[in-house]
Amino acid sequence: MTVKAMIDEWYPVGLLSQLDLKGRKTALMDEPIDVALDADGNARVTGGNGRTLPVRVRYGHVWASLGEPKKELFDIPEADQPGRRFVDVGVVRVRCSPLRAVENFLDIAHFPFVHTDILGAEPHTEVQNYKVEIREEEDEVWATQVKFYQPQAAKSASGGITTEYMYRVPAPTCSVLYKTCPPRPGEWDVITLFVQPLAEDLCDVWPWMALFDDESSMTDLIHFQQTIFLQDRSILENQIPRLLPLDPGMEIPTRADLTSVAYRRWLKRHNYTYGAQLVAQ
């Protein structure tokens, strides 16, 4: 485990809409932190030794870093696009590695078995070839042309369709998913997974969405996403080992897992190993 390389990254630590003066005690990579509003109404995050941490407020969430971020918080251009509805899904705690939570989000092959009759269903289990790359300029992992048959792809979908996905990993514990938007062909719905690493084997997950959907109520949208994520939670808490194995040999990837292969390679390259297991045990 190395904290070092990941310490300068940005992490979600709370929902802006739920902050108050009293504050919220939480943790970031084993360090207790406090997230609160100050007298001027600005978000303030305090580290374990009382120091004030760098803060950003974006995508409905408060972001903080324990170190000195060398990069600005990653951009999601769709967050400023008119006509989208922004959905704060709320926090869910999971007893798993933050990296395992992200990797599961990048996976489509589990849809028929874990999100049965919503995001997938037998016999439509085949994963077609798709494209994966590490984009050097942005330093992000991208998977594109990911296609999967889905019985109910979104709250706004009725009946089965083949959905197209694009995945993006802009930070070690964050992923952005672009997905065919049933009511608006040509546009992409944006669904994100922001993961706050509390410890190497414990995380708070903050899903967030920017959707084109004028029909569904906000509560329906929240419940749809909570349903999906809670179906994953019981998987994530039962993977052995808890930490994500970065060395080959411990787990067996196939062609369907190329996004995960690239993600693991990218983590290793940057020494993003908080929540990872390096030596096969």
Residues that bind another protein (CB under 8 A): 15, 17-18, 88-93, 95, 109-110, 112-114, 116-117, 122-123, 125-127, 204, 217-220, 222-223, 226-231, 233-235, 237-241, 245, 250-256
Shortest spacing between CB 231 and another protein, in angstroms = 5
Q: Nearer to another protein by C-beta: 189 or 204? A: 204
Shortest spacing between CB 221 and another protein, in angstroms = 10
Q: Nearer to another protein by C-beta: 49 or 219? A: 219
Q: Nearer to another protein by C-beta: 112 or 170? A: 112
Q: Nearer to another protein by C-beta: 92 or 134? A: 92
Could you give the CA distance from residue 103 to residue 101 in angstroms, rounded to a whole number? 6
Shortest spacing between CB 273 and another protein, in angstroms = 17
Shortest spacing between CB 50 and another protein, in angstroms = 24
Shortest spacing between CB 15 and another protein, in angstroms = 6
Q: Nearer to another protein by C-beta: 120 or 172? A: 120
Q: Any idea what the Cα angle at residue 243 is, between residues 68 and 98, rounded to 5°?
A: 45
Shortest spacing between CB 218 and another protein, in angstroms = 7
Could you give the CA distance from residue 223 to residue 251 in angstroms, rounded to a whole number? 33
Shortest spacing between CB 121 and another protein, in angstroms = 10
Question: From its phi and psi, is residue 19 left (phi > 0), alpha (psi between -120 and 50) or beta?
Answer: beta
Q: Nearer to another protein by C-beta: 165 or 188? A: 165
The DSSP secondary-structure symbol of 42 reads -
Q: Nearer to another protein by C-beta: 146 or 170? A: 146
Could you give the CA distance from residue 45 to residue 120 in angstroms, rounded to a whole number? 40
Asked whether 28 and 8 are in contact (CB, 8 A), the reply is: no
Query: Which residue has 């959907």 as its token pair?
Result: 213
Strand partners, 149: 162
| DSSP-assigned states of every residue in 83-107 | T-EEEE---EEESS-HHHHHHHHT-
The DSSP secondary-structure symbol of 120 reads B
Give the β-pairing of 276-277 and 244-245. Answer: parallel
Could you give the CA distance from residue 61 to residue 66 in angstroms, rounded to a whole number? 16
